[in-house]
Structure 1
Amino acid sequence: MNEFKALGIDEDILRVIETMGFTEPTEVQKQAIPLVIALKDVIAGSATGSGKTLAFGAGIIHHVRKGSGIQALILAPTRELAEQISEALRVFSKHKQLLVAPIYGGVALNPQFSILERADIVVGTPGRILDHLQRGTIDFSRVKHLVLDEA
């Protein structure tokens, strides 16, 4: 756990990591987390299951403040991946009670309107995000973090 703490991870996230049984960071986490926390641009590639979501998520969650508008946008190629990332970020941010909004096609737009008004982090597919942009139902003026997952 001390290795995770040395990366500069927020105490709230450290508690979740400990609860999940992670004992030491993966290589991508060791390299990416300090850079994301320092608000640096990062391009990272690693195998499936190597901890990339925590690698970018820990830094984003560190900076995002509840109720301050959409501060992070994560684009994913499929609704399944968007849902998976959203769930992981919900778990990692549970002590901060951030609202992570999964936004993708194949479901009704109307329920997404209200969640977008309250969201702190949006995880979505490009097509549905563009749809909301064109409708004016999404506000990215406060976004400080952008992740292109599986780009």
Structure 2
Amino acid sequence: MNGENQIQKAYESILGHDFEKAIEWFEKAIAAEPHNAAYHYKLSITYARSNKLHKAIEHATKAVELESGSETHRYHLKVLRARELAEQAHKELKGAKQTERAIFLLKQALVLDPLFIEAYLTLAEVFASRRDYENAYKTVMEGLRLEPFHEIAKQQAAQYKQLLK
């Protein structure tokens, strides 16, 4: 038995904005074809969109294991791991204000996903919280090179530039 029917049902659920049902259908497709990397990849995307990062990473990892030559699967896993690192950085900042650890985690996230604008903005905020406005400004400007019309980044850049004076 193959999982194509379940995949179709999953897509129908997504179109109906029922992501939990889509997850169920993707899981049924995987039960039918556990070694199908594409199914794990698709489920991973749905988990990520549902803010279930741990499960998204689990299935993205499985997709890479099953089809290691897929650049798409490897890139997706890197993006998810970058999000995970950014979430860890946020926890470090909320808890005991471990700014050094947060900086390390955010820089690692940007190595994995150099297009992750939110990581640039958060890293700039961390630098600014330490009154390191030069690095805050440089960091937000790197983000602005990616997204020149990002309003929050433009506001941060102006603020840090002013603080540098």
Structure with greater strand share of residues: 1
Common fold: TM-score over 0.5: no
TM-score of the superposed pair, with normalisation by structure 1: 0.38
Structure with greater contact order relative to length (CA < 8 Å, sep ≥ 6): 1
Structure with greater helix share of residues: 2
TM-score of the superposed pair, with normalisation by structure 2: 0.36
Say which one has the larger Rg: 2
